[in-house]
Amino acid sequence: MEQIYYTQCPVGYGLGASNGFQIKRLSRGYPVSGDFRHLGMKAFPGGGRVLAPPSLRYRRDGEVAEVAWLTPRPNEYETERGLWGRPGGHFAHGLRLGPGEMKAIKRWPAGLLDSPIWKRTDREPSRGRAPDEVELAASALFRPPTFADVAPLADGESPDRLARLLTTLAAVTREGRTLFLIAEPDRLGPMVAILTFAFPEKLREELTFSTYHDRPEELPGFRISGTIPAARPNRMALTAQGIVADLVAGTFEPPIQPARWALTLAGWLTRHDPIDEADWSTTEGRARLVAKAQGPESAWADEGLGHLYAYPGALRSKAPPEDPARWRALGDFTRWFGRTGLADEWARPRSPAWWLEAGALSTRRDRL
């Protein structure tokens, strides 16, 4: 695993030739010519005196995942003599994860929020030493990556608002835009964690994020980007790049209506009872079959998500359609499952006799 430490250093403490921001330590093979903007932040947002929250960031570089934890500090430098220098500094610890390492954390980098694997300071001169070794496993996540452990992060959240957030996240991912979250510092990380975990593991890799930046419009490319009211975000600039969800004011700009599939998923997460857990888990397995049959380009389509999340309830329902519109919906539903490899599971509970009886019942109703 390749790593980087990036921070402000006095001369002689990092790999730079002078004071200021520079690479402090570097693993062999880490690309030094890369874009380090995701490792930057301001310690004091909005010109105030309150320290910014730490930030967890995740982005993609081809097949490699780049994940970083940024820790703000009140002063420019931190060495053996403690904190000193001008106001405001930070320390960034970055990792580059391959497919196997992402699989080890269930493709849920948001679960690395405030993980003990992160280095938060490095007071000694580098002297050519590489970063400390890190062991990445599911145990490094702040919660075990299971529905039972993660769904309670949605406790106290309105199902309707959670559904609108899920709808928005799918839309911006489909369109290559950004969901901007404005929330209090202690809510940003858990909200990113639940939003990204909610979707099937196969889809999570696309959900890049920054839990906090004081000027998120200047750090483009993330599907989710968080900030706080104290940073006085530029809403006009944010709405030009995506959709703004202000969790403090309870508003969406522009307004968002929740998709039906998102209401179903939000209900599972906010109730998180055994049936909800079973439905979420079986949907995870079905999503893998759908992705294999249809490819990644259609994974975020509303039609596919609608059928995928309606499936558990439809599978339990044995009542035949009551009118032509519902027959058309059933036909569309059935054709979609035929294209995605789920037709056997869908047809098995409905014998040929069921279809004949349902058709006869519909015909009798039409004659009345």
User: Both 235 and 102 in a single domain?
Assistant: no
Determine the pLDDT at residue 339.
83
Number of domains the chain contains = 3
Cα dihedral sign, 317-323-324-325 = negative
**Which residue is listed with tokens 């679960």?**
111
CA distance 254 to 242: 9
Residues ≥6 apart with Cβ < 8 Å to 139: none
Q: 3-state DSSP call for residue 234? A: coil
Determine the pLDDT at residue 22.
92
User: Both 319 and 359 in a single domain?
Assistant: yes
Give the H/E segment covering residue 359: helix 352-367
Determine the pLDDT at residue 358.
67
pLDDT level of residue 291 (50, 70, 90 thresholds): confident
What mean pLDDT is predicted for residues 88-105?
A: 95
User: Both 264 and 170 in a single domain?
Assistant: yes
User: Both 177 and 136 in a single domain?
Assistant: no
User: Both 246 and 198 in a single domain?
Assistant: yes
Contact 130, 27 (CB under 8 A): yes
**Best CA proximity match to 336, nearest among 313, 368, 295, 306:** 306
Determine the pLDDT at residue 359.
67
User: Both 188 and 133 in a single domain?
Assistant: no
Contact 106, 201 (CB under 8 A): yes
CA distance 149 to 258: 25
Segment 315-367, tens digit of pLDDT: 887 777 777 777 777 778 778 878 887 877 777 777 777 767 766 765 655 55
Segment 297-319, tens digit of pLDDT: 678 988 889 999 998 988 887 77
Determine the pLDDT at residue 364.
58
User: Both 153 and 135 in a single domain?
Assistant: no
CATH number at residue 194: 3.40.50
**Best CA proximity match to 223, nearest among 266, 154, 170, 275:** 170
User: Both 198 and 322 in a single domain?
Assistant: no
Segment 179-192, tens digit of pLDDT: 999 999 999 999 99
Contact 309, 265 (CB under 8 A): yes
Q: Which of 280, 307, 342 is the last residue of a domain?
A: 280
For residue 94, the enclosing domain spans: 1-145
Tokens of 160: 């309707």
Segment 122-180, tens digit of pLDDT: 999 998 899 999 988 889 999 999 999 999 999 999 999 999 999 999 999 999 999 99
User: Cis peptide leading into 254, omega within 30 of 0?
Assistant: yes
CA distance 354 to 317: 12
User: Both 60 and 119 in a single domain?
Assistant: yes
Contact 178, 172 (CB under 8 A): yes
Segment 217-264, tens digit of pLDDT: 999 889 999 999 999 999 999 999 999 999 999 999 999 999 999 999
Q: Which of 280, 299, 314 is the last residue of a domain?
A: 280
Determine the pLDDT at residue 320.
72
Distance of CA 24 to the CA centre of its chain: 29
User: Both 141 and 2 in a single domain?
Assistant: yes
Determine the pLDDT at residue 367.
53
User: Both 128 and 263 in a single domain?
Assistant: no
Q: Which of 280, 311, 345 is the last residue of a domain?
A: 280
pLDDT level of residue 11 (50, 70, 90 thresholds): very high
User: Both 232 and 358 in a single domain?
Assistant: no
Residue-wise burial string across 76-107, b where 16 or more C-beta atoms lie within 10 A, e elsewhere: bbbbeeeeeeeebbbbbbbbbbeeebbebbbb
